[in-house]
Amino acid sequence: MTGQLSFPRQHARTQRFTLGAPRAFSVAPDDSRVVFLRSRGGTDRAGLLWVYDVAGQREYPAADPVALLGGADEELSAEERARRERSREGSAGVVGYAVDQAVETAAFALSGRLFVSDLTGGESRELPAPGPVVDPRPSPDGRHVAYVAGGALRVTGGGGRRPGARRT
């Protein structure tokens, strides 16, 4: 077969035709945005955190692992590798996230590091945290992020909105 891959190869290369398909949706309470995970294409394993702006009818990446890691390869801790194996997660990059109550802030771990994304503006930043970080979750108001590191539950400030910031 020249030029075309056999069905078994396509099935394996696309992880059962799931790469590039949106998954893990979160809808803002005011229906203004939908947050989801998706890779850039059908053969790309690296998941990105995407936001679909309903009013503007556009989608944009809120977290791109290539940009956040500066082009470096992802490094998985033993804990993260085991977690992905248990959940049968075959993707790379951003494979899970959690949002605050207003779906304005998302927290996720990438390469054992802690990141938060402002889902209204589409910007992500790293928060200083002893690693490797596992299963980060923002508080309901988005001001703090809880995560597991070294077998301990930890909480850090600096989630999405600044302390004292008010929703409009």
Write out pLDDT tens, residues 30-67.
999 999 999 887 566 678 899 999 999 999 999 998 88
Contact, 119 vs 106, CB < 8 A? yes
In this model, does residue 76 exceed pLDDT 80? no
Q: Where are the domains of the chain?
A: 19-157
* Joined tokens for residue 38: 């998706």
pLDDT tier, 162 (very low <50, low <70, confident <90, very high otherwise): very low
Residue 12's pLDDT is: 64
Q: Which residues are CB-contacts of 143 (< 8 A; sequence separation ≥ 6)?
A: 157, 159, 160, 161, 163
Dihedral of CA atoms 117, 133, 144, 53 in degrees, nearest 10, equals 20
Least confident of 82-86, 88-92, 93-97, 156-160: 88-92
Which residue, among 101, 110, 107, has the nearest Cα to 131 in the 3D structure? 110
Give this prediction's pTM.
Answer: 0.78
Q: pLDDT exceeding 70 applies to what percent of the chain?
A: 74
Contact, 142 vs 77, CB < 8 A? no
Q: What mean pLDDT do residues 93-101 have?
A: 90
Least confident of 66-75, 101-110, 118-127, 140-149: 66-75
Q: Give 49's strand partners.
A: 37, 63
Class of the CATH domain delimited by 19-157: mainly beta
For residue 97, with 0-12 CB atoms within 10 Å meaning exposed, 13-18 middle and 19 or more buried, which class applies? Answer: buried
In this model, does residue 82 exceed pLDDT 80? no
